[in-house]
Amino acid sequence: MTLTLTGCGSGTGSGDDVTLKLIAADYGDSKSNGSQHYWDELARAFEKKNPGIKVDVEVYSWTDVDKKVEDLVKDGNAPDLAQIGAYADYAAKGQLYSADQLLNVTTQADFTPSLAEAGEYKRVQYGMPFGASTRRLFYNKKLFAQAGITAPPQTWDDIAHDAQLLKAHGVKMPFALPLGPEETQAETMQWMLSGGGGYTDSIGKYTIDSPENVKTFDWLQKNLVGKGLTGTDPAKLNRKDAFQGFADGDVGMLNGHPTLMKQAAARGIDYGTVELPGTHGKAKATMGVADWMMAFKQGGHRAQVGKFLDFVYSDKNVEKFSGDYGLLPVTTSASQAMQADDKYTELHGFLEQLPNAEFYPANKTSWPLISKTVKAKMGAAVDPRGNPAGVLTDIQNTADAADNTGE
């Protein structure tokens, strides 16, 4: 669904009289707090300070935004800026400005290092992080108390044990495992990391069917799904519905990101969060997610785009966006300000994890295809009648073929 559009922008202009076109993703959960409001306010403030530059913003849902940009680029009508989920494909085709061609030195140096690195294609930064989050395990304190559970889980065995107790006390969904098509690639990566695996190895080669990952999905199949502790078929459960179930008090535990805090608190849920449990203690790493801002060369508005981005990434604007949407700041200075502010105490645990978080392999041009493949197939890996190793090998074969042709 498209939110209110502010226009298409002229795309051209003489001298400094330019209209920049930005396509952005929607972070709101309703029309009243949609991202269009944030961008319209920010664009007007920028235009006031820079009379020769107008900024037109079109906001699309996450379901549609990547495809919208892809179509515009294919039609030879690339926007000046896009704030979407992946940048590497455009970088590989030479369609993007690099960050150092756009930003002043202070702005570029202020990105959290792990995020700046995740935005690099062939060691050059093209993806500028915009909105980040890490993951923690959320649990419903009231449901835990009713089931006689006195401490949150620290290991996978704890998760299975606590889920059994919650089920015995009538909890509809003891552990929500959203492997439905919406955001399967995230839930998958969290479990891979907590089992000591991941999508890739240290040199960026896909390791989807590694022994660690096979063991992880075997465990999920046998110990959670096979014992009826997920409450529903994970292949049909989307993250949005899992979050709603937690806010409704029907879910005992799930992996979540900061926006769930606001959603749960609004419904009066007394919850806690802990670092993701691993096989024998807390997971070695948590998943970090960053969305990306990128600037296309086609319009030729490098100077104006750079000026706008320096404004976008000012501390005040980064803090406002993060605060409005329950996300983590992508700059060191805004992160430090948030760490020092008691107003954001609940975000501090997520924020502390960000410097060492592991990210999707978004610097691989094959990643969008692999992400899509994971979304389509990973639910079958935990089906009690299925074969986890077979599903993972199937996805690995797709990844290998994509790497051989695309990298």
Residue 7 has pLDDT above 60, yes or no: no
Model confidence pLDDT, tens digit, residues 223-252: 999 999 999 999 999 999 999 999 999 999
CA–CA gap between residue 61 and residue 65 (Å, rounded)? 6
pLDDT band for position 16 (cuts 50, 70, 90)? low
DSSP class per residue in 195-259: TT--SB-TTS-B-TT-HHHHHHHHHHIIIIITTT-SSS-GGG--HHHHHHHHHTT-EEEEEE-TH
CA–CA gap between residue 4 and residue 6 (Å, rounded)? 7
Model confidence pLDDT, tens digit, residues 313-367: 999 999 999 988 889 999 999 999 999 999 888 899 999 999 889 999 988 999 9
CA–CA gap between residue 117 and residue 109 (Å, rounded)? 12
C-beta of residue 58 within 8 angstroms of C-beta of residue 36:
no
Residue 112 has pLDDT above 80, yes or no: yes
In whole angstroms, what separates CA 94 from the centre of its chain?
Answer: 25
Q: Which pTM value belongs to this model?
A: 0.85
* β 251-256/136-140 pair status: antiparallel
Say what the alpha-carbon torsion angle 5, 131, 95, 395 is, to the nearest 10 degrees: -110
